[in-house]
A and B are shown apart, each in its own frame.
Chain A
Amino acid sequence: MNIQNYRLEPNPNVPGDWIVFGDICDNEGNLLGTFGPDGTSVFGWWVLQDAQFQRFYSNQFASIMAQEIVAGTAE
């Protein structure tokens, strides 16, 4: 799977959020789908995922968070 015309833009309405733009293609370049003409909000997409998915990725961030807390760089 490939993404063409990909770009990220800050969500002007939600601080810290990003909007993903791009065309989703197969390996032969055939268009499979898009992120929509207005793009897809990361935060909006995130809250729609099931709990198990969110738990898996949150777990990936835990060690980074811990490191920053210890280093005093966490907000």
Chain B
Amino acid sequence: MATYYVRTDGDNSNTGTGPATTQAWQTIGKVFASGSVVTGGDIVYIAPGTYTESINVLATSPTSKVQIIGNPTASQFPGVNAGVVKLSAFNAAGTSVTFANTYLISGTSKNYYSFSNMIFEGSHTSSVSVVEFFTSRYIQFDKCVFRTENAPGLSSGGQLRLTATASTPLDASITNCYFGPSSVIGAYLTGASQSTDTTIFSNCYFDAHTDCLPLYFLTASVVNCTFVGQTSAILQAGGGANAFLTIKNCLFKRCGTAIQGTSSVSGAQTYNRFVSCTTDVINIPTSVTSTTTGVFGVDSFESLLFGLNNLQPGTSYDNSPNKSFGNATGAPATDLYGVTWTGTSPDAGSGTYRVITSNPTNIQYNGGVERNASAITIAPGSTSQSVELYLGATGLTFATSGLAAYYVRNRAAPTPITLVAAPNPTWVSGGFAEIDSATVPGLYRLDLPDAALNAGADDVTVVVRGASGTNGAVLTIKLSAGGLTAAQTASAVLDAVASIHNNAGSIGASIQDKAGYSLSTPQSFSTTGSVGSVTGNVAGNVTGTVGGVVGNVVGNITGSVATVATPDNIIDGVWDEQRTGHTGAGSFGEKLQTNALADEMLARDLGSSLNAGTAEERTVRSALRALRNKINVGSSQMVVKKEDDTTDAWTATVTTTAVSSNVSGIDPN
């Protein structure tokens, strides 16, 4: 399987195997020319643009599908503007061109060609069809637009003509297509009266024809199609028992004759809505599942006019009678826009109600206007920062021709940013890469140079532009501490978790609730505040030391203290405290002072204490003084001295008798 590319600025002498100007072909006709290299299984992408060509298919008929895919988004063509892909009888300026042949594309006995995402824009200068494949099989059109211009009053010809080979099914498929107004025929198909023919029209919208769908000698299904303003919508002719039309879930509005069969057994119609038609059905049986009541039920520009949800004229409006009117058997899963049917069953007609934004300005044209993102804030001095920019066009790379980036700090001279490949997710200065062309097409990552965010400027504006297909993007970054670095953000979040966001059940509440916590490794904690209370038990031990209790333990220990690690200290403390801290008059500490008890005993009166301290005292001290201190003994008096042997302590009267030797004194040494 090979892939080929066509673009208006290509060259048919190229190989066609790449999307660049120097690689791609220039004309669609190259694909169908005699000797074409395109064969079954190949894909041909057509770039946006107008291809004014009349193509006679001379290539050898493929034996399997060849996909001719218009690429309006230009996703396959980097640097090419998005736009429609038209095969046209008009040039880019809109002027009709006279071809030698009047068709846009015509083939005979050419099978398996599949067209999608293209406009076939014909000019009826004679009674031929715009697109025609004769005696061909397996021809497909999906998401194509057929329209004819410049053809007032023409009585024949049409927009699509397909015929089958004798005794061979046509097996054509026309899905999700629009057939614009024409004074003649829409799609004119001729089968070969084959009951196994799988030809189908689904999700097509037919707008104002004289003979819209002439289906001759053909077995075919027409499902979920909308017919508006047709003189004859579906007209069956010929085929007998081997031509059978199945018409289902269709919507007919103001048609002369909606469905006309060849006989009462030539087809079946069910779940159709006929609105304001002159004649609904001729020959084909009626059905109780079909109806003629109600209104058209299709958006007639009102959602765009009024800014409502559904922004697609031609589809069912909200709560339309078309909603869920159809039957799912044999019906497509989505409408012509690929939107899943809004109701439980398919709508009648080709378009379902679509819930999208009510603001029409949100409809963006791919590759359109400049995108000026709202200003963002980053902390000055931040490093390794990346931003997202919407450029519209897809497929851009750092190397795309013309693409350039600059930053401007405080309206100074622009500084170029050298774009390089961005190795996701690693930041690299100037890194540039599309984020995901499938899910967020046109969105790119740019890794800002650190210098762009240096402190010293209030703001920096980043501009990326210059590539074909986009008008660029502008992003202004406010340099402010309000824009937090990752570390600042983490700090702020963690600080706030427990202090602010601590409702019941929150992480913050869990952090504050210490119940059930234990520490498996040694930790150093300091509590500078107070511990309010411990209402439960402290079941474990403090095996280390407690620094001290500076205040008082004002409560009681009502239980026992299991162990005290150093009891001697407590005993010493008790005794020492008694002698040093509790020495008030009359206290036990006072008695324990040095010599206090001895002095008190020495001063104790032998009988009473009335004369203690006087010369008349009869204390232990005074008694002992006579034994140890100086005593002067006279003839009539004895004087006992105090410990200085000078001061009189007490005296006693001496009575003498005649003796040989008198004691005159005792003076201890």
Mark A residues whose CB is within 8 Å of B.
Answer: 1-6, 22, 25, 27-29, 63-64, 66-68
Contact = CB atoms under 8 A, between A and B. Distances in A.
16 contacts: A1-B280, A3-B281, A4-B264, A4-B282, A4-B283, A6-B260, A6-B283, A22-B282, A22-B283, A28-B286, A28-B288, A29-B285, A64-B155, A67-B153, A67-B154, A68-B155
Most-contacted residue by chain A among B260, B278, B280 (CB, 10 A): B280
Contacts of A67: 152-155
B286 A29 contact: yes
Given A27-B290, A27-B291, A27-B292, A3 B282 contact: yes
Given A2-B286, A67-B153, 4 more contacts: A3-B283, A5-B264, A63-B152, A64-B155
Interface in B284-343: 285-286, 288, 290-292
Nearest to A70: B153
B286 A27 contact: yes
A4 B283 CA distance: 4
A5 to B, nearest CB: 6
B512 interface: no
A1 B279 contact: yes
A28 B292 CA distance: 11
Contacts of A68: 155
Interface string B134-161: 0000000000000000001111000000
B282 A2 contact: yes
A20 B155 CA distance: 23
B153 A25 contact: no
Nearest to B274: A27
Nearest to B151: A67
B443 to A, nearest CB: 52
Interface in B262-285: 264, 278-283, 285
The B contact surface, by secondary structure, is loop
A22 B31 CA distance: 50
A2 B292 CA distance: 11
Contacts of B278: 1
A3 B131 CA distance: 33
A28 B289 CA distance: 10
A39 to B, nearest CB: 15
A34 to B, nearest CB: 14
Nearest to A67: B153
A5 B281 CA distance: 11
Contacts of B279: 1-3
B282 A6 contact: yes
A42 B519 CA distance: 104
Nearest to B277: A1
A64 B280 contact: no
Contact of B153 (A2, A4, A5, A63): A63
Interface of B: 152-155, 260, 264, 278-283, 285-286, 288, 290-292
A25 B152 contact: no
Nearest to A66: B153
Nearest to A1: B279
A50 B278 CA distance: 19
A26 B264 CA distance: 15
A25 to B, nearest CB: 7
Given A2-B281, A66-B153, A25 B286 contact: yes
Contacts of B264: 4-5
A64 B151 CA distance: 11
A35 to B, nearest CB: 12
Most-contacted residue by chain B among A2, A63, A64, A67 (CB, 10 A): A2
Nearest to B291: A27
A3 B261 CA distance: 10
B154 to A, nearest CB: 6
A42 B285 CA distance: 24
Nearest to A71: B126
B283 A5 contact: yes
A27 B153 contact: no
B298 to A, nearest CB: 21
A64 B282 contact: no
A67 B154 CA distance: 6
A1 B282 CA distance: 9
Contacts of A28: 286, 288
Contacts of B290: 27
A29 B280 CA distance: 12
Contacts of B286: 2, 25, 27-29
Contacts of A66: 153
A63 B152 CA distance: 8
B277 to A, nearest CB: 8
A28 B154 CA distance: 38
A27 B283 CA distance: 12
A52 B291 CA distance: 32
Contacts of A3: 279, 281-283
Contacts of B291: 27
A64 B283 contact: no
Contact of B280 (A5, A6, A22, A27): A27
A66 B154 CA distance: 10
A2 B280 contact: yes
Contacts of A4: 264, 282-283, 285
Nearest to B279: A1
B632 to A, nearest CB: 163
A63 B282 CA distance: 28
A59 B486 CA distance: 78
Nearest to B293: A27
Contacts of A64: 153, 155
A8 B144 CA distance: 36
B128 to A, nearest CB: 13
A32 to B, nearest CB: 12
A2 B269 CA distance: 12
Most-contacted residue by chain A among B152, B281, B290 (CB, 10 A): B281
A10 to B, nearest CB: 16
A63 B210 CA distance: 13
Contacts of A25: 286
Nearest to B261: A6
Contacts of B155: 64, 67-68
Nearest to B184: A64
A46 B322 CA distance: 37
Most-contacted residue by chain A among B152, B282, B292 (CB, 10 A): B282
Contacts of B280: 1-2, 27
A25 B282 CA distance: 10
Closest 9 CB pairs of A and B: A63-B153, A67-B153, A2-B281, A3-B282, A6-B282, A6-B283, A64-B155, A29-B286, A2-B286
B88 to A, nearest CB: 23
Nearest to B126: A71
